Structures are given as structure tokens and as C-alpha cells.
Amino acid sequence: MRIGYGKLFGAFGLRRKALIIFLLFVILPTFGVGVVAQYQFNQILRAQFINSTSRNIDNVTAQLSEQTQMIEDIANYMILSPDMRSFLRPSPPLTDDQRTNLKRNIEGFLTFQLISRSYIRSIEISGYNGSEISMGEPFSGDESLWRRRADSRKGGITWTEGYSLHSGWNGEVRLVSMFRVLNSYNEITRPLGRLIIRRDEASIVNLLDKGIFENGKGRVYLIGKQGEVVLGSKSGTDEAANPEADAAAFKPDDELLKRLDSGRQGFFTRPFGGDSGGERYLTLYTPVENTGWSMVALIPETTVDEEFRGVKLLMLTILVAILLLGLSALIGFHYTIITPILRLKKEAGRVAVGDFSARVPIKSRDELADLNRTFNKMVSTIQQLIEQKYKLELRERESELKLLQSQMDPHFLYNTLDTIRWTARLEKAEESSRLIEMLSKFFRASVGGGSSTTTLKREMEFVQSYLFLQQRRLGDALSYSLRIEPGLEEAVVLKTTIQPLVENFIKHGLDRRTRQGEVRVDARSADGGIVVDVIDNGRGMTPQRKREVEALLQSRFRDETRQGAVSNIHERIMLLFGPEYGLEIVRTSPQGTWIRMRVPLGDYPQEGGRRREYG
């Protein structure tokens, strides 16, 4: 797996490698660290914000609990007060002087409470014996609902929701009141009268507003035991002038009520009104002691995000600055390192195709400049060597090719055989004349007028002549077939490159004792060149001989002592057409051998018709 990744990465260019390294080791780590750091920092800031808001709410809750506790203490005192027990006793009846004295004592206590507790608007005591005390603002209105609830609790404290009464001093006023039935101290199940302490709703609303985030965006509600909204703050709502309408607009959902029933303090995030598609609010809740109420604060998530926007922008600016610095480093690396190397590669490519005028400009004094200077010297040296030595080597190779061709140049035999062929025809020996004619064609192709190349068609005719003669000699022990793809007949190939491969089969691979020998020669175009496959069913090569032949084919220098027909042909093709052409062993086994020859393909006219076959 490591090798596969290494090869994949090694196939990339310098620009792509630099970009990948920049992405992997600069952008992704920087981005990842920035995201993680910003997330952690946001969590810390969010926790600090929640703690700060929770402290505000705790302070408000403590103040509200203290006020409600004071009111409940007044109610408890009324029950324990001897004056109150006497004032409300049904028997023996009070005299006028007794009632007046008791009332004066009780009113003195209540007056002190009204003066010292500005949030208390009125205190009203109604005895079942007809005794009554009313202190503070005079109110009128329907309070029957709360009276019934207080009666049903039989002495328990009942806190109302926000409701409206008419004040004789201030007109319509909203109140939150405490109702309680005053039972006998000695007979706790015996009701003696009713106590009502009314407090100003506005004072509670103002107190709730103190629990809101400092910019005033948010809502605070008091929720009763049954999930009813006792009242809400006026900040952050469209109904700021009407808290009753705001309270009616908010409906606690099941999740919130479940959390409130636990009686613990906490927070969570939820959409307002229970609509999953609505605006999300950070919801904090805490119980209010003594009343059974719970205080719930709703702060929009957008408000929380705006609080941290400056810090987020600062961190984003730092992250972008780091990325820009990394990008600047990449650009600098590109122009100072990669570009000179690519320029050197470009000039080296010109040298590879034979343009020795290529030179690399030297514009600095660093190691790359030394490398460019060395390259320029090397190109100059190569140019001189080519002029002095390489041309001489080419001339030696040409002489060698002519020597190879001269090994099969029996010109005198061709003239003699031609004379014998005509003599056989005059004597009406047709079969002998045919054999002599094929032998004559064989020698004529080998002479070839001194040229080292021929057409593919003529080379196939040369092979056909040789196989025809061998078939007449061997009889049924040999069969053959020759094929040329239409349009390749005039393609240029080296002379005597296919026939030696066929001859190798007949000399070394043919085994007449076991099976009929068969050889096929197929010439076709492939990958922009010509492929000639020579396939036989002979004995094949031994593994050791195959390794020896392949080693000769891969060697740049010929070993004259070990050279055979295959390496000879391969060397000739490489010298004429280049190292990408030549012979290769496709397959060899006891069932036969497959040799493939590759030569370049020129642009030749096409001949119509089907594939031409010989044999």
C-alpha cells in the first residue's frame, strides 16, 4: 500500500506536489485548528454567558422569594397574633370598645407593613363574625375565582396569576395577590376569616426585567404549578405595554413543563412556542421558593451570537491572515524554486529531442544557479561529443548493417538458378521449374539492390518463398499461413527480419515425430505502429534459454560471441527506428513460441478488399 501511494504521489508534477503539501500541512491543519479553537472558545464564552445570566436570574429569584416570604410571614403572623384571634372570634361577641381597640392594634401593624413594603398595595381581612379591616388602596372587582381556590385549600396559601382590579386612586391596576383562609389557632380546621394581600404586578415585572440580558433582548416568565403563565416581563416583546398579552402569547411545552416539575435549576435550547422552525432561544429555568412558581428566561440565540461576534471576527481574521501567509509562502516557493526547476526541465526536454541550442538563464547565485550553470556546460559538451564521436559511431553502424546484409548475398547463385529454371521449363519439368522459381525469388529478395529496407509486402513474399521451399522438402510435416492487414502492404520494414524468425522455428522448434509443425505470421497495426506476430507450435525455449535471449534483447551493447538471429534482428531494428521498437518474447512453452516485432508505421495509401493472405 505504501508503494502504491508512493507511485501515485511520484506521478504528480512539482506544482501539484507543492499544492498538495500546502493543503495537507498548511491549509487543512490551520483550518482544523482554527475551527476547533473557535468552537472551544465559543463554548467557553457561551458557558460564561449562561453563568452570568444564571446569576442575574438567581438574584431576581432571591429577591422575589424574599418578598413573597415576607408576605407569607405576615399571613402567618395574622394567625398567631392574639389580637387577630380575638378580633375574628365568633363567640363571645366583641363589644364595640373591644373591636375598636383590637382593630387599632392590627391596623398599626398593617400600616407599618404597607409603609415598609412598597410593593404591597393593600391588605384586607374579612372575618366570618362580621369584623373587617381594609388597609391601603381601595380596590373593587371580581376576585371570586381566587376566593374559591383559597377556600378549597382550607388554610393553605394561594398565589394568583396577574389580574386586573379597579383602584379608587389609580384606576385600572394589575395585581398579583395572596389569598388565605385564617383558621382558628386552637381549632385548625375551623375558618375564622379571609386574608388578602395584594401586591403590584408592575413591581414583579420590573424585577423580572432585571434578569434579562443587559441589552434588553429576551423574556422572563413566572410559571405556576399547573403550567399556567403567572406573568411575564415586558422587555424584548412586541407586547411591551401589555404584559398580560405577552403572557398569553407564551405557552410552555411538554419538555419545559417536565423540566420544571423536577424542581431543579438548568438550561437548554429550544424554539419559541414549540415550533421547530421558529427562532431558537436559550432557555434558563429555576424554582422560586415558597410560591411553587418557576422562573423561566428566554434569550434569543441571535443575541448570544451577537455578543460573541467581535471575538469570532477577530479569530476569523487571524485564521485568514495565517492562510494568506501560507499562500504567500507557497507563491514564493513557486517562483523561487519550482519555476526554475520547471524551466530546467523544459530546456532538458529540448536537448532530449536533439536541440542542443537549449540554455538555462542564470539570474541568481544560489544552488539552483549552480545547477543551471552545470547544465549549460553539459549541453555544450554533449554537442561537441556528438559532432566528433556520435557521427563516427553512426557510420560504423551503417557499415555493420551492410556487413549483415552481405552475409546473404549469393548473387551468382540467383543468375545460375534462373538459367536452370528456364531449362526445366523447356524440358517440361513444371514442378522442378516451380521450385527453382521460388528459390530464385528467395535469393532475389536477399540481394535487394543494396538497400537495408523493403516493403512489408516484399518481406512477406520473401518469407513465403522460404516456407514454400521448406514445405516441399518436409511435406505434410509443415503448414503455414501469412496475413497482412489491408493498407500495410507498402509499409517500410527492415529486410530479412521476419524470415530468420521462421527459420529458427524450422531449425530448432520443429518436431516431426510428435505433431505437424505449424507457423503463422500476422502483420497488423497497433498503437500507432506495426506489430508482426510469429507464432509456432514447436518445442519452445527452455526457461534458461528464454532468460538468456531476454537479457540480450534488453542489453544496450551486443555480445558478438553470443549473438543469434533474434538479437541480431532486434539490434538492427533499434539502430534504424529507435529503442522503443524491436522484438519481444510474448510467450514460450513446450506447446510453441510467440515472438512479436514492433516497427513504426508510416502514412501509406490504403488498399481495398479483405485481409490479404499468403500460403
Helix (H) or strand (E) holding 584: strand 582-589
Is the pLDDT reported for residue 129 higher than 80? yes
Q: Where would I find the beta strands (DSSP E) of 414-516?
A: 453-455, 478-484, 492-494
Is residue 436's pLDDT more than 60?
A: yes
Nearest in space to 438 (alpha carbons), one of 451, 424, 428, 449: 424
Lowest mean pLDDT among 161-170, 246-255, 364-373, 513-522: 246-255
Q: Is residue 446 part of a domain?
A: no
Higher pLDDT, 579 or 106: 106
Greater confidence, 385 or 82? 82
Q: Are residues 455 and 395 in the same domain?
A: no
Whether the CB-CB separation of 529 and 598 falls below 8 Å is answered with yes
The residues pairing with 266 across neighbouring beta strands, listed in sequence order, are 285
Query: pLDDT per residue over 188-241, tens digit each?
Result: 888 999 999 999 888 888 877 776 655 556 788 888 887 788 877 765 444 444
Which pLDDT value is given to residue 397? 63
Q: Are 180 and 195 spatial neighbours (Cβ–Cβ below 8 Å)?
A: yes
Residues 283 and 392 in one domain: no
Highest mean pLDDT: which of 42-56, 475-489, 501-515? 475-489
β-strand 517-526 against 478-484: which pairing, if any?
A: parallel
How do beta strands 294-300 and 219-223 pair?
antiparallel
8 A C-beta contact, residue 450 and residue 466? no
Give 330 or 122, the one with higher predicted confidence: 122
Q: What is the dihedral of CA 276, 279, 285, 290, to 10 degrees?
A: -100
Assigned domain for 5 exists: no
CA 136, 141, 146, 147 torsion: positive or negative? positive
Residue given cell 530468420 in the structure block: 500
**Do 589 and 536 form a contact (C-beta atoms < 8 A)?**
no
Mean of the per-residue pLDDT values of the chain: 78
User: Which amino acid appears at position 484 of this protein?
Assistant: I
Query: Above 90 in pLDDT, residue 284?
Result: no
Question: Residue type at 431?
Answer: E
Which residue in this structure is represented by grid cell 422572563?
Answer: 220
**Residue 611: per-residue pLDDT:** 41
Amino acid at 566: V
Strands (E), 184-326: 191-200, 219-223, 229-232, 266-271, 280-287, 294-300
Best-predicted range by mean pLDDT among 176-180, 281-285, 425-429, 464-468? 176-180
Contact partners, residue 166, CB within 8 Å, separation at least 6: 139, 140, 141, 172, 173
Domain presence at residue 25:
no
Range of 375's domain? 356-404
- Which of the two residues, 547 and 249, has the higher pLDDT score? 547
CA-CA-CA-CA dihedral for 226, 232, 237, 239, to nearest 10: 90
CB-CB neighbours of 441 under 10 Å: 20
Domain-embedded: residue 349: no
Question: So what's the pLDDT on residue 561?
Answer: 45
Q: What percent of the chain has pLDDT over 90?
A: 13
pLDDT > 60? residue 562: no
Q: Are residues 226 and 100 in the same domain?
A: yes
Please tell me whether residues 242 and 374 are part of one structural domain. no
In whole angstroms, give the CA distance from residue 506 to residue 519. 9
380 and 479 co-located in one domain = no
In the prediction, which pLDDT does 239 show?
Answer: 43
Which residue would you say has higher pLDDT here, 273 or 301?
Answer: 301
CATH number at residue 558: 3.30.565.10
pLDDT of residue 556: 52
Does residue 482 have a pLDDT over 90? yes
What per-residue confidence (pLDDT) applies to 579? 80
CA distances (Å), origin 243, targets 96, 204, 233, 407, 585: 46, 11, 7, 119, 97
Write the DSSP string, 495-548: TTSSHHHHHHIIIII--TTTS-EEEEEEEEEETTEEEEEEEE-S----HHHHHH
CB 291, CB 161: distance < 8 Å: no
Confidence of residue 540 (pLDDT cuts 50, 70, 90): confident
d(CA 316, CA 319): 5
Dump pLDDT digits (tens) for 339-366. 888 888 888 888 888 787 788 888 778 8
Phi/psi region, residue 516 (left: phi>0; alpha: psi -120 to 50; beta: rest), is beta
Confidence class of residue 311 from pLDDT cuts 50, 70 and 90? confident
CB 530 within 8 A of CB 488: yes
Rounded CA separation 61/74 (Å): 20
The cell for 159 is: 398565589
Q: Name the pLDDT band for 310 (thresholds 50, 70, 90).
A: confident
pLDDT of amino acid 609: 35
Residues 367 and 475 in one domain: no
Shared-domain flag, residues 290 and 217: yes
Same domain, 123 and 230: yes
pLDDT for 276: 53
At residue 28, the pLDDT reads: 81
Which band of pLDDT confidence, cut at 50, 70 and 90, is reported for residue 560? very low
Task: Please tell me whether the overall predicted TM-score, pTM, comes out greater than 0.85 for this model.
Answer: no
Pairing type for strands 492-494 and 529-536 reads: unpaired
Note the pLDDT of residue 273: 55
Tens of pLDDT along 440-467? 666 666 555 556 788 889 889 888 888 8
Tell me what pLDDT residue 606 has: 39
Unique residue bearing C-alpha cell 401586591: 199
Residue 344 domain flag? no
**Does residue 336 fall inside a structural domain?**
no
Cross-strand bridge partners of residue 454: 493
Q: Does residue 355 sit in helix, strand or coil?
A: coil
> Hunting for cell 524440358 — which residue is that?
427
95 shares a domain with 244 = yes
Residue 487 and residue 396 in one domain: no
Of 88, 200, 72, 191, residue with least CA distance to 136: 200
pLDDT grade for 614, boundaries at 50, 70 and 90: very low
pLDDT of 122:
94
Q: What is the pLDDT of residues 37-91, one digit of tens each?
A: 877 877 787 787 778 778 888 888 888 888 889 998 998 888 888 888 888 888 8
- Please check whether residue 72 lies inside any domain of the structure: yes
Residue 280's CATH number: 3.30.450.20
State the average pLDDT over residues 272-290: 72
- pLDDT band per the 50, 70, 90 thresholds, residue 24: confident
Q: Is 379 found in the same domain as 517? A: no
163, 299: one domain: yes
Q: What pLDDT score does 416 carry?
A: 62
Domain membership flag for residue 185: yes
pLDDT band of residue 557 (cuts 50, 70, 90) is very low
First CA to last CA distance, the chain: 52
Tally the domains of the chain.
3
Closest CA relative to residue 64, chosen from 252, 290, 320: 290
Distance set, CA 150 to CA 178, 191, 259, 262 (Å): 9, 11, 27, 25
